[in-house]
């Protein structure tokens, strides 16, 4: 069947400069996402004295972007399945740029909370579109690595936030200027990739499976492959294979998958964001009340650079060999074990060195595990016509978990101590392990095999659109 030949061409296409460009353009969004999400803990540490923030105000400022991301991921995810990935791509980057600058100019607590919420709409919208585009551009052998590298840009964004904060404070810049600069810097990477995002080609899979447009699919394939894959162009069009929301939510197999992708991501983000956004006050508490924000930033930078960054890179390097689902099954219990050890070993939360080792290990196994794999799996397990919908719902539910974690972590720590809060995070990791069992193993399999695309079309009483068979030319050196 001609359609199979087209998909074979996509699934077997060698990694090219186009993939590297797409990874960079998509990844810079996650650089910005991480920078914007995690720098806020440093900002509120500076603002606490300047604006005399209450605990509730601090919690709202820290978590409001995540609430916006919950909505943005769901809305933009569905929109990208309706109108196309490319038509949405870039809009979310523009939103992040505008409201990063607006946050930097905030004149009151209420204004900052509002601007951070609208910033979150762009952050959330970036998740499903960037993830799914990279997934649909990728071949089956390297898909985990390519999509994982997009997400791994989060590590650079987080490090950039710590470095920027340290540099400004070490230079003696006044605290009232520092927090505004830190928030404003978030506009730079979004602005840098805005033009490039608008020039990316539409996903050939979306055009083939959802729109049934032969001409546009072949043209996008030529751009996608940089001429390595060529095909004759026909003027005829195949039938569109769209799936409605009602059909999506009434399909038991897809709901099981959604429970797996959204559930695992929710429990992970609860634990991860609750700890990470509160990292500066956590570290200050461990180092002692005499510790400065600058010392806490240096401590966090050391932990993240030594433990988290290698975790991201190793996940990308070995995910396709180990298995995406299998790596998540490995990462959840190891991450949870580190949280549990911090919670149950007496004195760890008041001793810098053992805390540093266990805290760093928790970051390593988070990145070399569920932080990367929840993102990748959600971009692989759904059919093309609802792929950004499924990923968007999963990311949105995950960010609601992050919102809850960030908002409640200070209260739980106050009531049960840091040890109790981390013990609860360990329990969430155990739940994530169980929910992972609901998911298939996508590694080295085509998106169509993983999602059961053809079977789903049969259930809907439709046929896959016919496309002309492409000819695979030798890849450019």
Question: How many whole angstroms separate alpha carbon 390 and alpha carbon 233?
Answer: 32
pLDDT tens for 258-267 read 999 999 999 9
175 in a domain, yes or no? Answer: yes
Q: How far is CA 475 from the centre of its chain?
A: 31
246 in a domain, yes or no? Answer: no
- 301 SS3 class: helix
| Domain count along the chain | 1
**For the domain that residue 405 is a member of, what is the CATH number?**
1.20.1250.20
Q: How far from 150 is each of 113, 143, 144, 220, 446, CA to CA, in Å?
A: 28, 11, 10, 21, 19
DSSP 3-state percent helix, strand, coil across the chain (nearest 5): 80, 0, 20
Quote the longest CA-to-CA distance of the chain. Answer: 72
466 in a domain, yes or no? Answer: no
Query: Minimum mean pLDDT among 1-10, 14-23, 191-200, 386-395: which range?
Result: 1-10
pLDDT tens for 381-400 read 999 999 999 999 999 999 99
Query: Minimum mean pLDDT among 208-212, 313-317, 355-359, 424-428: which range?
Result: 208-212
Residue 63: burial class (beta carbons within 10 Å; 0-12, 13-18, 19+): buried
Residue 375 has pLDDT above 50, yes or no: yes
242 in a domain, yes or no? Answer: no
**Which pLDDT band, with edges at 50, 70 and 90, does 279 fall under?**
low
CA proximity to 467, closest of 281, 243, 306, 237: 237
Question: How many whole angstroms separate alpha carbon 391 and alpha carbon 150?
Answer: 15
Q: How far from 459 is each of 207, 213, 334, 383, CA to CA, in Å?
A: 21, 22, 40, 13
Bigger pLDDT: 448 or 277?
Answer: 448
Range of the domain at 383: 17-204+214-229+252-456
21 in a domain, yes or no? Answer: yes
The total number of residues written for the chain in this structure = 477
What average pLDDT does the chain have?
84
214 touches 238 (CB < 8 A): yes
469 in a domain, yes or no? Answer: no
What six digits make up the tokens of 84?
């196309």
* Residue 237, strand partner residues: 213
5 in a domain, yes or no? Answer: no
4 in a domain, yes or no? Answer: no
What's the pTM value of the predicted model, to 2 decimals?
A: 0.88
């Amino acid at each position: 069947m001609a359609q199979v030949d087209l998909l074979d061409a996509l699934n077997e296409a060698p990694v090219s400069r186009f993939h590297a460009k797409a990874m960079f353009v998509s990844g810079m969004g996650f650089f910005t996402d991480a920078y914007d999400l995690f720098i806020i803990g440093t900002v509120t540490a500076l603002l606490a004295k300047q604006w005399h923030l209450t605990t509730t105000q601090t919690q709202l400022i820290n978590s409001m972007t995540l609430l916006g991301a919950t909505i943005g991921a769901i809305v933009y995810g569905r929109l990208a399945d309706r109108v196309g990935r490319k038509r949405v791509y870039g809009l979310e980057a523009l939103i992040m740029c505008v409201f990063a600058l607006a946050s930097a100019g905030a004149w009151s607590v209420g204004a900052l909370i509002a601007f951070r919420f609208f910033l979150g709409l762009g952050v959330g919208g970036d998740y499903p579109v960037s993830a799914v585009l990279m997934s649909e551009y990728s071949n089956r052998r390297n898909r985990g690595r390519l999509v994982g590298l997009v997400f791994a840009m989060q590590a650079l964004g987080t490090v950039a936030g710590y470095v920027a904060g340290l540099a400004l404070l070490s230079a003696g810049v006044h605290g009232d200027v520092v927090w505004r600069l830190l928030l404003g810097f978030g506009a730079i990477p979004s602005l840098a990739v805005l033009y490039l995002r608008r020039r990316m080609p539409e996903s050939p899979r979306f055009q083939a499976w959802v729109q049934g447009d032969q001409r546009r699919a072949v043209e996008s394939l030529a751009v996608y492959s940089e001429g390595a894959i060529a095909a004759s162009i026909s003027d005829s069009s195949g039938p569109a294979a769209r799936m409605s929301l009602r059909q999506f939510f009434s399909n038991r197999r897809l709901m099981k998958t959604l429970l797996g992708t959204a559930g695992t991501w929710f429990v992970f983000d609860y634990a991860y964001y609750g700890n990470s956004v509160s990292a500066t006050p956590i570290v200050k508490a461990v180092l002692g009340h005499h510790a400065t924000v600058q010392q806490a930033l240096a401590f966090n930078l050391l932990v993240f650079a030594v433990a988290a960054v290698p975790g991201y890179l190793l996940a990308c390097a070995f995910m396709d060999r180990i298995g995406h689902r299998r790596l998540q099954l490995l990462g959840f219990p190891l991450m949870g074990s580190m949280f549990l050890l911090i919670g149950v070993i007496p004195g760890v939360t008041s001793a810098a060195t053992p805390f540093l080792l266990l805290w760093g290990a928790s970051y390593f196994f988070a990145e070399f595990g569920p932080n990367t794999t929840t993102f990748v799996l959600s971009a692989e397990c759904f059919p093309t016509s609802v792929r950004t919908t499924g990923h968007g719902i999963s990311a949105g539910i995950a960010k609601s978990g992050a919102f809850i974690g960030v908002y409640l972590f200070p209260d739980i720590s106050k009531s049960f101590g840091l040890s109790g809060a981390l013990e609860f995070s360990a329990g969430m990791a155990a739940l994530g392990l169980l929910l992972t069992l609901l998911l298939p193993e996508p590694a080295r399999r085509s998106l169509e095999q993983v999602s059961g695309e053809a079977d789903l079309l049969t259930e809907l009483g439709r046929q896959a659109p016919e496309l002309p068979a492409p000819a695979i030319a030798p890849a450019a050196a």
